[in-house]
Structure 1
Amino acid sequence: MKILMSCKSLHTLSLAGTFEGEGMSSDDDMVDFDGFKNLRLLSLADSDFTGQIPLWLSKLKNLEILALYNNQITGPIPSWLGTLPRLFSLNLTSNRILGEIPKQLCRLPRLVYEPTASQVENCEFELPIFGGSVTANPRFEPHKLFLFFPAIDLSNNNISGDIPTEVGQLQLLRKLNLDSNKFSGVIPNQISNLTNLELLNLSRNHLSGTIPSSLGPIPTSTQLQSFNASAFEGNPKLCGAPLANKCSRPNKGIDEDNKKNNKDMDNGLHQIPWFYISSVVLGFIVGFWGVCGSLIINKTWRYVYFRFIYNVQDRLYMMITVRINMIKRKP
């Protein structure tokens, strides 16, 4: 890698299947890294790389395609990936990545629907593959063409947590593959904002609730009509069209958390310890009979108490009467 750093004009670097079983170049190894200024495509796939995604990749400000699939990469998805200004294709499939999808990844400048993104004439990248025999075909004409388009592929990892609602901001995205992970919770309705989406795969996760209506009976006027049941299968708690698993009632997925909270509150009310109930009852009994019982048993106290009540009543009566007479005498 360091040998190639001096190639200032290099814009495509594919080393797929080259460094089998080695570790990713660490930040310590690339401490003086300042190369690949014009690199647009970097592929380190199919190499069984170990370790985490290194920070030095964040310096590739012109990078458009990053392919690290079919390795042994561990750790979380770094949030700085979402700050690369020109990145529009990310493939991390078939690794050992953990954690949640960082919200920053859902703000890739090249994929959000903003003036800087909408002005991109063609968010694609063509990569011709040359090959042949030096003696038989010294001209090395291209025999294969790879086409890269706006895509995020995180399939076959150990990513968990909810699918972030911010994913709806990636409005130029054409492929979203989250297959074979550990995502939980409901499918966010914001996915329906991805009107350019052509491929969606959420299968083999732990998703639950109702498939949003925008992804079930697909409107024929959008790209989303191409989704079928295979995009959602492998989620036993998921229901609704296009799956055969019918929901018990509409909006079950949306209301699931509220129902759970209400159930917990109801259970809490029914599980109030008897200690507190008995304390309240005992306090009432002691307070009530402590006063009334004393008046019933002790004749002197009873006479003094009621005499006091009568005196107060007489004084109130006299005050009210005098006040009324004074008001009447005023001209």
Structure 2
Amino acid sequence: MDRNSLIMSLPFRTSSPPLNWSSADCCNWEGIACDPRVAYNNLTNITGAIKILMRCKFLSVVLIGENFFHETIPSDDSIAHSNGFRNVQHLSIIGCHLTGQIPMWLSNLKKLKILRLNHNRITGSIPGWFSTLPRLKHLALTHNHFSGEFPKELCALPALISAQALENDTNTSILPLFSIFGRTIYQYNSVSSLWPGISLRNNSLGGKIPIEIGRLKLIRELDLSNNNFSGNIPSQMSELTNMERLDLSANRLSGEIPISLANLNFLAKFSVANNNLSGPIPSGTQLQTFSPLAYDGNAGLCGSPLPKECTHTVKSNKDKKTQDEKVGGHRIPWFQITVVLGFITGFWGVCSSLVLNCNWRNAYFQFLENLGDQLYVTMAVSWARLLRRLL
């Protein structure tokens, strides 16, 4: 970038720029300070601005949001093959209504930890090469026009899987950073103190949430709200035990809320409102401590904290037995079957012992013969006594 291009890109005009503006590092130019916080200044020509800033070798934080309105996010080949921004850890271009797609040159920022492109009009799919950025731990792409599915590659972000990715990181910015969340302003004294998270709120993403999301052990915030995600909530989310904010509202998710989500003991914010979920909210868990608004818009959900109680139809043992006894609409005659089976078992039990054992057989028939004789004698004596009395 020559001196004239720099002068024309500045938000002010000067006819006599300082002589030392010809040096390689613009951070050393007289009158130019490498304070990257130039947001909210109504700047124009984002391509020229990016090319200028890329010459500042020691930049670690670049906050240029609320500028360059309705321009196209730069994707020039000259930027893609540049080694600029090699020390940038935090890049924020929010609220510019930029169009285009995520440029490939961002994949060269190997020290990047935080990328914020919120409130633009960026289209296309979310690139999988984000997983090649070894230190990226905070990705915010909310309020854009992204389409396609949640890339499985995002579930392989090294800085969200293992702390080893940032273990040897000694290059941390110490200038105060400010983040606005709702109506609260948070101050951070370093880039490393910002929350690890992925925010994709208010896009046009669809498909199922990948089960590989359970790999992001260090993530503390996941916002997938206001998209078109469908299918069940993956139970693997219960493995994200450091999660503090989980928002899945305003999608097309179905099925039940996994009871395993009760393992997320640090949740401070949770919402699955406006989906197609059904079944009971897991009882006896932290999930019941959130406001009913967190579950609103799911006609099939029931249980605390919702006013709708779960009506479980539990059949009595008698009803269940009756149900089991019916086959094809007819009652099975269990009593008759039991009598017949008992007779058959007893009969063949006795007969088989007589057939197989000769001594038992002889004793049995001898017993029957003696029994018959006793009966004959008893009946004859009784008959004789009866005749005597009658005569």
Query: Do Structure 1 and Structure 2 share a fold, with TM-score over 0.5?
Result: yes
- Correspondence 1:111-126 to 2 at 5 A: 111-113=160-162, 116-117=164-165, 119=167
1:246 and 2:306 matched: no
Size of the aligned set, in residue pairs, is 230
Which residue of structure 2 aligns with residue 208 of structure 1? 254
Whether the 8 Å contact between 1:15 and 1:45 is mirrored in structure 2 is: yes
Q: Distance in 1 between matches of 2:230 and 2:248?
A: 11
Paired AA for residue 17 in structure 1: E
The equivalent residue for 1:28 is 77
Equivalent positions of 1:125-274 (< 5 A) are 128=176, 145-146=187-188, 148-215=194-261, 218-219=262-263, 222-226=264-268, 228=270, 231-241=271-281, 242=287, 243=295, 245-246=301-302
2:155 to 103, 106, 125: 106
Q: Are the counterparts in 2 of residues 126 and 148 from structure 1 also a CA contact under 8 Å?
A: no
Match in the other structure for 2:90: 41
Q: 1:109-153: CA deviations, max 9, x gaps?
A: 11103x62484799x9775259xxxxxxxxxxxx97246210100
- C-alpha contact 1:162 1:186 (8 A) present in aligned 2: yes
Letter in 2 for 1:177: D
Q: 1:76 to 1:196 in 2, by over 3 A?
A: same
Q: CA deviation at 1:58?
A: 0.1
Percent of aligned positions with the same letter in both sequences? Answer: 43
CA RMSD of aligned residues (A): 2.8
**1:266 corresponds to which residue?**
none
1:67-82 matches, cutoff 5 A: 67-82=116-131
Bigger CA radius of gyration: 2
Partner Cα separation in structure 2 for residue 129 and residue 117 of structure 1: 22
Report the Cα distance in structure 2 between the residues aligned to 1:197 and 1:31, rounded to whole angstroms: 35
TM-superposed deviation, 1:223: 2.7
CA distance in 1, matches of 2:247, 2:174: 24
How far residue 4 of structure 1 moved from its aligned partner, in angstroms, is 1.1
What whole-Å deviation, never above 9, does each CA across 1:161-204 have from its counterpart, x for those lacking one? 00011110000000000010000000001000001000000000
Q: Which structure 2 segments of 5+ residues have no match? A: 1-49, 179-184, 282-286, 288-294, 304-309, 313-391
CA–CA distance in structure 1, aligned partners of residues 236 and 168 of structure 2: 23
Residue 246 of structure 2 contacts residue 267 of structure 2 at CA under 8 Å; is this kept in 1? no
Which amino acid is the alignment partner of residue 187 of structure 1? Answer: I
Give the whole-Å Cα distance in 2 for the aligned partners of 1:20 and 1:145: 26
Alignment partner of 1:3 is 2:52:
yes
Q: CA deviation at 1:28?
A: 3.2
Alpha-carbon distance in 2 for matches of 1:155, 1:15: 21
**What is the CA deviation profile of residues 292-313 of structure 1, one whole-angstrom value per residue up to 9, with x for unaligned ones?**
xxxxxxxxxxxxxxxxxxxxxx
Aligned pairs for 1:287-302 within 5 A = none
Displacement after TM superposition at 1:19 (Å) = 1.1
* Cα drift, residue 23 of structure 1: 0.3
Give the SS at the match of 2:131.
helix
Instruction: State the alpha-carbon separation in 1 of the partners of residues 279 and 56 from structure 2.
Output: 53
C-alpha displacement of 1:50? 0.3
- The DSSP-based 3-state class of the residue aligned with 2:148 is coil
Higher relative contact order (CA 8 A, sep 6+): 1
| CA distance in structure 1 between the partners assigned to 2:128 and 2:51 by the alignment | 25
- Give structure 1 stretches of 5+ with no counterpart: 131-142, 251-331
Which amino acid is the alignment partner of residue 181 of structure 1? N
Deviations 1:28-52 (A, max 9, x none): 3524422011000000111001010
Matched, 1:18 2:18: no
- The answer to whether the aligner puts 1:60 opposite 2:109 as a matched pair is yes
What are the superposed Cα offsets for residues 69-96 of structure 1, whole Å, 9 maximum, x if unpaired? Answer: 0000000000001110000000000000
Amino acid at match of 2:276: P
Q: CA deviation at 1:224?
A: 4.5
Please say if residues 63 and 84 of structure 1, whose CA atoms lie closer than 8 Å, have aligned partners that are also in contact: yes
Matched ranges for 1:296-311 at <5 A: none
Q: Is the 8 A contact 2:135 2:166 kept in 1?
A: no
Q: Give the Cα–Cα distance (whole angstroms) in 1 for the partners of residues 225 and 277 of structure 2.
A: 16
TM-score normalised by the chain length of structure 2? 0.54
